[in-house]
């Protein structure tokens, strides 16, 4: 494949695909109607009274080693997982049966993701081998080898793949065409990246604590956080809200930052190291409580942060007020917002081998999904939110029902 840094892969046919309907006024009106007056911002929701312990509906046990990555197809009941056995598998989430295997990797598979239309799946390993497979034929249709891979993501509507590597470069490929675009490094590794909803720009986080908003067509850096606006340590995760107007970054320094996508201004810094955290103007002192994950609710003006100190914080990003703190026995590795119409549930995965769901409106524990006494490295929800899929260090991927009643245990 011939990769030309000046090659513009955003041709007219691709640009036409990137046409997402926005309904900002309706969402803004809905957010304005949210009443938080009855919320108790200091409530710590570690009560077990509402807990419902749920065992898994199905298991996938095809990996020989820890499982690092998982994704769920948005169109059919299939999942893909990757692990330290240098393998990825596509399998049925209802019964755990293997559909096909994705071999040819040189190291642990740490990235797995389905395209937005569900017709392709991409798998990437630590050594930088990235492969794309056709979901209908089960055949590999594209491959490329970069430097050591850090993250991988599909475009929200187009057949375009975005990746970041340890040398700090970002890559954009039009699949399966033989063209790509490279966004040069400033000398620091990129640890996280995400398309904005319009698909025309992306937020990228780096190990020196900076983050950049990049115009993908022109390669222009719209803004770069520097100095006091940057984190004091590596950016672990990035996120954007429903319309791409707000961005969030999470860091090893124990803080999360809220950024305006239009101006690049940091409008809030959230200290996540302590149970009584408050929004502050300055970075924290870096007590080693890494903020591993951050995500916006799609329907409420709320931002969730998950830390290795076991604290889930739910923030009102309009006011900067901490609404709730939810305690876990061990560190949080992943968090997701419910993708349903209400959007008020937050799902967390923990190093204690348990997934949980929390009601963001009152901070109460809703469900506990029992797993193994092993770390959980990744977690995804099905497109309708009925299934929760979690990747465990014991080599098993477990599937849970998110319905309120108890699920039957797997026999």
Per-residue pLDDT of 211-249, as tens digits, reads 999 999 999 999 999 898 999 999 999 999 999 999 999
Residue pair 254/308 in contact (Cβ under 8 Å)? The answer is no
CA 399 to chain centre: 18
Residues 6+ apart with CB under 8 A from 195: 153, 155, 156, 162, 201, 202
Task: Decide if pLDDT at 22 tops 50.
Answer: no
DSSP 44: B
What percent of the chain is predicted at pLDDT more than 70?
A: 81
Question: What's the N-to-C CA distance of the chain in angstroms?
Answer: 48
pLDDT at 15 > cutoff 60 = no
Residue with tokens 């149970």: 275
pLDDT tens string 282-335: 333 334 489 999 999 999 999 999 999 999 999 999 999 999 999 999 999 999
Report pLDDT for 306. 97
- The yes-or-no verdict on residue 9 having pLDDT over 60 is no
Please give the Cα distance from 83 to 87 (Å, whole number). Answer: 6
Give the integer Cα–Cα distance in Å for 109 and 102. 10
pTM (2 d.p.): 0.84
In three-state secondary structure terms, 223 is strand
Closest CA relative to residue 318, chosen from 300, 306, 335: 300
Q: What is the pLDDT of residue 347?
A: 97
Secondary structure (3-state) at 113: strand
pLDDT digits (tens, 9 = 90+) for 90-119: 999 999 999 999 999 999 999 999 999 999
Mean pLDDT of the chain: 85
Contact (Cβ atoms closer than 8 angstroms) between residue 77 and residue 382 = yes
Provide mean pLDDT across the span 56-61: 93
Query: Which of 13-22, 121-130, 231-240, 280-289 is predicted least confidently?
Result: 13-22
Q: Are 180 and 174 a contacting pair, CB within 8 Å? A: yes
pLDDT reported for residue 79: 98
CB-CB contact of 22 with 243 (8 Å): yes
Pick from 379, 360, 304: nearest CA to 36:
360
**What pLDDT sits at residue 53?**
60
Question: Which pLDDT score is estimated for 35?
Answer: 45
């Amino acid at each position: 494949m011939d990769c030309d840094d000046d090659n513009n892969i955003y041709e007219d046919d691709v640009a036409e695909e990137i046409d997402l309907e926005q309904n900002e006024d309706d969402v803004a009106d809905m957010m304005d109607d949210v009443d938080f007056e009855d919320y108790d911002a200091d409530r710590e929701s570690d009560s077990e009274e509402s807990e419902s312990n749920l065992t898994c509906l199905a298991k996938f046990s095809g990996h020989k080693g820890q499982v690092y990555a998982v994704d769920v197809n948005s169109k059919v009941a299939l999942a893909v997982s990757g692990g330290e056995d240098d393998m990825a598998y596509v399998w049925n989430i209802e019964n755990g049966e293997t559909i096909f295997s994705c071999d040819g990797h040189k190291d642990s598979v740490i990235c797995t993701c389905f395209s937005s239309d569900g017709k392709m799946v991409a798998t990437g390993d630590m050594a930088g081998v990235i492969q794309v497979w056709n979901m209908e034929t089960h055949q590999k249709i594209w491959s490329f080898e970069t430097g050591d891979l850090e993250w991988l993501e599909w475009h929200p509507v187009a057949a375009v793949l975005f990746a970041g590597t340890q040398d700090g470069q970002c890559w954009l490929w039009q699949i399966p065409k033989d063209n790509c675009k490279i966004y040069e490094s400033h000398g620091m590794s990129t640890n996280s990246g995400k398309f904005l909803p319009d698909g025309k720009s992306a937020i990228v986080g780096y190990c020196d604590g900076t983050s950049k908003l990049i115009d993908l067509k022109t390669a222009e850096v719209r803004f770069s956080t520097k100095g006091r606006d940057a984190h004091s340590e590596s950016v672990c995760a990035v996120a954007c809200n429903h319309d791409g107007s707000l961005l969030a970054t999470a860091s090893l320094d124990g803080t999360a930052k809220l950024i305006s996508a239009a101006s690049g201004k940091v409008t809030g810094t959230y200290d996540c190291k302590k149970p009584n955290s408050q929004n502050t103007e300055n970075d924290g002192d870096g007590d080693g409580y890494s903020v591993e994950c951050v995500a916006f609710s799609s329907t409420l003006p709320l931002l969730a942060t998950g830390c290795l100190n076991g604290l889930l914080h739910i923030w009102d990003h309009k006011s900067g007020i901490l609404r709730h703190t939810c305690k876990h026995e061990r560190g949080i590795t992943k968090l997701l917002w419910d993708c349903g119409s209400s959007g008020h549930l937050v799902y967390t995965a923990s190093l204690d081998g348990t997934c949980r769901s929390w009601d963001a409106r009152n901070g109460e524990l809703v469900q506990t999904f029992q797993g193994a006494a092993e770390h959980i490295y990744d977690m995804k929800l099905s497109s309708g939110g009925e299934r929760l899929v979690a990747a465990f260090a014991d080599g098993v991927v477990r599937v849970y029902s998110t319905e309120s009643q108890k699920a039957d245990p797997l026999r």
